[in-house]
Chain A
């Protein structure tokens, strides 16, 4: 009884649909442009570093009208970001989906064994690299990384290090410190960088390896102190933050006898099977984003390493980094059991 009328109404809808499609599809064959809202996936929860960066980009794109279609930010944090990566992987051929990545691009598939690899995605661009610093509470006497490590060795494995997540970047750095120095730490995973910093402020742990922007406020407020930065050279930012010091005054960990270098990718990928036109379109958008004042401010506040890469350079960098993560994680025993 009900069926004929339904098919009828749908028939009408179909007819209307084709008519609309014909009129609206005025072809502009010059270069590819999005024809519907672009979903910007964040494989991490709200409030974290990747989330803040993605939302800043969304704000910049909206404010300066850099895209004709709206950009929609969606958090897919489940399974240490695996949810977001699998979603992109499953959306092959949909050019209206991009994802911002952090180190979990490598660590999540390696630690959990989910069926995903960065090669499933189409690389677009590296936006920046996030630095890591070694932080202690300002009321502790340690003035250098060396003093702190010596104290940790004496404490005989009772010093606690808090970090974001388990078997991810913070724990990898902690493992590397243990391996190089022989000091032992109890690693305590927390949900996000902000919570990690607060645990240190509340003296529930002895140190953290927070990103600069996660702990800048506590440094300014006189409760935390950075000891060294895990980069090959000192950061270029000269603006004074606290105690008469700037980000640029923090020594490298290498100079303190901690020969560890770790930077976290903040990069963009697309769905599998994207064409060159589509990738170029997004590269164009992000180049414009990088030129805005808001972006420069975000970079300076977070003391980011502003390396920008696209194309073959980017792919090569990611491939090297994946191999490095695999080695680091194998050495630490973090790989998923097959």
Chain B
């Protein structure tokens, strides 16, 4: 009960007029950051951090967390409209979000995405409010082996079922892993696969691959098919938000499942990206319309968006409670806390109660304000698709280039983006699945790292992955997910045999 009264005090702090203004400014800035590739959430927060030093810590953290919300909302916009995910966790949103936009249902897709983000984040905030200390203790149980288990589970639940030829899937995924391995090997501090070529030192960033494979590749496919987005004739409908809302409650099971997946993945330091892929993969398997995923199913937008944002939000919890950032943005916020003289960690909840509860209250309100702002803009965003292709395409190209450049401030990356673009066109036309490739680039080095850390700790014995109930359960779930379709067919056959 003490939590609740603290929370209301927090609300009182946040509801001061100045703080509300700060909140709105933060959300709008955040949406801009999320929409423009090259200004990621972490980037945006980092750049704006110094601006907030003249404010009180509470106002400042409200502004920064609202920028964070705004960026989360904004990331979905480019994914759905142009097939360009600005952030790793928006990749899974493109799978069904972009086909929806192509069918003229951009408004529905955006509404579903924003609403799901809201639901996911809200769920996570409620969890933070109620069970923060408990969850923080749970996060501590994650050593290298458990982390690897989580990555393994994310891969298995996403990859197990693919319509493409299996050897093409293997090739695509392994190429992704190989690209992720380029650069410095974190475990031995050695350079590998760089062949003495210095621009390769930093490896292949996921963003460059994704901008190329998805964004540029999409433009090339559009050109081949004859110069226009299919959804161009879409009627701009101001009531689209309410119409979509009527449909959404039907998918409450998917939402709830995605919330749980998201929170779990956010607290275990795996983060939002595996959460979104895993949630998409599981939704595809569980849904009655699973076969139609990838062709513009609204459920395929709800699942990854809910999970990503539940994860992104709950990732702030380890930061506050343990001082370990669960995401790059959280890392920058952490730096901010230190500058304001607040020491994150177990003592923050005791020493700086006002601040912590002010932050949590601002999460509730910031989320609501953010949702209202982006929802009112849905028709405007959807209208962007009405701009003729020969105007919007070069502008997209320019922003892709800016995005690719600003990852490492490197011209080489811009060239690589173009290479990935052409490659994406050919791979897609030849039925190589791009999603496993991207997932492997995003998680590959992390997964390898935790695998090798585990082996170091166990001195080479693989038994460490079954050494306690936690890691054992996660690995078992992963294996079940991987062989799910096989298990299912065996089961139905067995049943048929029994009844026969």
Contacts and interface: CB of A to CB of B under 8 A. Distances in A.
B46 interface: yes
Interface string B360-389: 000000000000000000000000000000
Interface stretch (A141-149, A162-170, A280-288): A162-170
16 contacts: A47-B331, A47-B334, A56-B338, A63-B53, A78-B203, A111-B190, A186-B459, A188-B144, A197-B324, A198-B323, A202-B140, A220-B343, A220-B345, A220-B347, A294-B339, A301-B341
A51 interface: yes
Interface of A: 45-47, 51-52, 55-56, 58-59, 62-63, 72-76, 78-80, 82-83, 86-87, 107, 111-115, 160, 165-168, 186-191, 194-195, 197-199, 201-202, 204-205, 213, 216-218, 220-223, 294, 297-298, 301, 334, 336
B49 A223 contact: no
B160 interface: no
B390 interface: no
A289 to B, nearest CB: 13
A334 B323 contact: no
A264 B317 CA distance: 30
B161 interface: no
Interface string B447-458: 001000100110
Contact of A112 (B49, B142, B191, B348): B191
A46 B202 contact: no
A244 to B, nearest CB: 16
A218 B186 contact: no
A52 B338 contact: yes
B191 A79 contact: yes
B183 A46 contact: no
A82 B201 contact: yes
Contact of A79 (B143, B183, B338, B453): B183
Interface of B: 42, 46-47, 49-51, 53-54, 140-144, 183-191, 198, 201-203, 269, 318, 322-325, 328, 331-332, 334-336, 338-339, 341, 343-348, 408-409, 449, 453, 456-457, 459
Contact of B191 (A45, A113, A334): A113
A73 B409 CA distance: 13
Contact of B324 (A46, A186, A195, A223): A195
B323 A217 contact: yes
B457 A47 contact: no
Contacts of B453: 188-190
Given A47-B325, A47-B334, A79-B183, A86 B46 contact: no
A216 to B, nearest CB: 7
A4 B328 CA distance: 48
A204 B143 contact: yes
Contacts of B185: 166
A167 to B, nearest CB: 4
Contact of A201 (B50, B140, B339): B140
Contacts of B339: 52, 55-56, 59, 294, 298
